[in-house]
Amino acid sequence: MKQSYNVAVVGATGAVGNEMITVLEGRNFPVKELRLLASANSAGKKLEYQRKDIVVQELTEKSFEGIEIALFSAGGDRSKQFAPAAVKAGAVVIDNSSAFRMDKDVPLVVPEVNAHAIARHKGIIANPNCSTIQMVVALDPLHRKAKIKRIVVSTYQSVAGAGQKGIDELANQIKALFSFQTAEKKMFPHQIAFNCIPQIDVFEPDGYTKEELKMVNETRKIMEDQSILVSPTAVRVPIFMSHSESVNVEFENDLSPEDAREILRNSPGVIVQDDPGKSVYPLAMNAAGEDAVFVGRIRRDNSVKHGLNLWIVSDNIRKGAALNAVQIAERLIGHS
């Protein structure tokens, strides 16, 4: 293992890009040079890393000379345009967009689940959708024990999933409504303040949204089991940070709630919070800023032979994006 690496963060001024910088510093990733890249509009801004200001540079196809690891968080179109240039320059790209996730030649990785897939990369490694990440971290250990047949999941996704503009829209709408003004909407199809919107991304002809289909296809790819059935409903809710999921799982073999709790307590990246008599269960506000995936409300589904219900919560910007990408980079260089 080398002592240090030249690292680029693409989309450095966005919510996820900023969190990537924080995670790199917080986990003492062996950075030799940190190059911060963004659009021309953001070029010239300064961001802090290890108590020093780094000037953001404009992202171009020539931005990656000497870079060894490139963390991308700038959207699918940008990834498709610039990731090949980064690979050509010699970097390994860890991409947070959906651009390459279902490419058969690109590993889709959650380190707690399928870190072995990293070795198959050909220059690009994909970071999964935030909702998929937290679900598979919790479900994969149970799948190994009892084999999952079917998952029915309803998500309660924060506005941070739409980036800084989503956060700003909720904040501005709340301020406007409390000032008896009109709540303007730009990011979401309806007012998000004091509302729930059962649509994330656009609808496909079958009535599912692209966000929902990501959970179907990505879960199967990461867990390496195309037989798993997944039925998702993705909902945007008026909270700033962290995604919550109500997950119903049907297994091929019996798995008691007690055994599930014990398995999860010993699973990497998972914290069990499950004492309903004392109102102890995962909360979105408590998960914000934390690395773990939190699991609670573990109970039998009495409507099927081998079923469990779980409540899964995680910070979608951190574990759902930035942290997972840095964890991939750590595994890539053998640093974890």
Catalytic residues: 130, 243
Burial string for 173-200 (b: 16+ CB within 10 Å, else e) reads beeeeeeeeebeeeebeebbbeeebeeb
Which residue, chain included where needed, has tokens 């610039």? 82
CA distance 324 to 130: 9
β-bridge pairing 148-157 and 229-236: parallel
> Which residue shows structure tokens 């940070």?
241
Q: What's the sign of the alpha-carbon dihedral 121, 125, 128, 134?
A: positive
Q: CA 321 to CA 45: how far, in whole Å?
A: 23
DSSP for 132-155, please give it. Answer: HHHHHHHHHHHHHHH-EEEEEEEE
Closest CA relative to residue 144, chosen from 112, 104, 178: 112
The sign of the dihedral angle between the CA atoms of 266, 267, 271, 277 is: negative
β-sheet with 124-126: strand ranges across: 57-58, 31-38, 5-10, 69-72, 92-95, 124-126
